[in-house]
Amino acid sequence: MSKPYTLNELLIIAIAKEIHDHENVVLGVGIPMTSGALAKALFAPHSNLIMESGIIDFKPTVPMNHVADCMSCRGFSYSTDLFSTFTMTYRGFVDVCFLGVAQVDKYGNLNTTVIGDYENPTIRLPGSGGAADFISYAKRTILTMRSGEFVEKLSYVTSPGYLDGGDSREKSGHFTPGSGPTKLISTQGIFEFDPETKEMFLSQLHPGVTVEAVKKKIPWDLKVSPDLKQTERPKDEEIDFIRNNFPTESVGKNLMWEIATASFLKRLNAAKPTIEK
């Protein structure tokens, strides 16, 4: 029986296991970067981690602050520029990329632009960045959803998944053959895409989660794999690696700030009598 773990740790480990040895991997800031570091340390030592900004084959040591944070790694093989990273993707050199999800539909199309009407949105999101390019031309894409939502119809199509399903993506002629999202890893389970219809289905449940709980958050009739599996509990060495190297990602930055603030205020209050003297 492994030690207790946080939801963030479960997600980090599940994402890390999608990185295979000798793959070229484009990673963003946050959980995906921590997953890349974990994969490099325990699962895929010869994987080539790439920052969107063009820092190639780097070895992460602390969480990144931005996509060009070379101070967050122990070293890297070489650096180029943002344009060259995208060019590598267009030319077929990127094996897998990881994209966060704000809204996603049943065919893996993504919205990271606005929630609600475009001209008068409820929430305005960061936009595409490199997401539309990576999901279009990387050989495969893993979607991650920490706080996003499943919807029947996107408020805005930022990044193309399987369009209208079936062979519509291939027929469009705009994308690398065979590319597209292969999995979505959420806080409740892992979803895959049917090879024929390209519709998302539930393939794996995280410990303690039920199919009924997952379906409550899905606005369409979600299909469930007949071979439904449960996500493996994290091993101690996996948990220890995350906590020792990326503690803010282990518990989440919001909780980490709350803990740090509470600790600071406690020390400040304890020092007040001394200061007043």
CA–CA separation, 59 and 56 (whole Å) = 9
Assigned token pair, 88: 């590598």
Active site residue 149: no
Helix %, strand %, coil % for the chain, to 5?
Answer: 35, 25, 40
Residue 163: strand, helix, or coil: coil
**H runs (alpha helix) in the chain:** 7-16, 31-38, 82-90, 131-137, 168-172, 211-215, 236-245, 247-251, 253-276
The amino acid present at 84, given as its one-letter code, is S
Catalytic residue among 52, 199, 238, 249: 52
Q: Which residues contact 43 (CB under 8 A, 6 or more apart)?
A: 16, 17, 19, 21
Catalytic residue ranges: 52
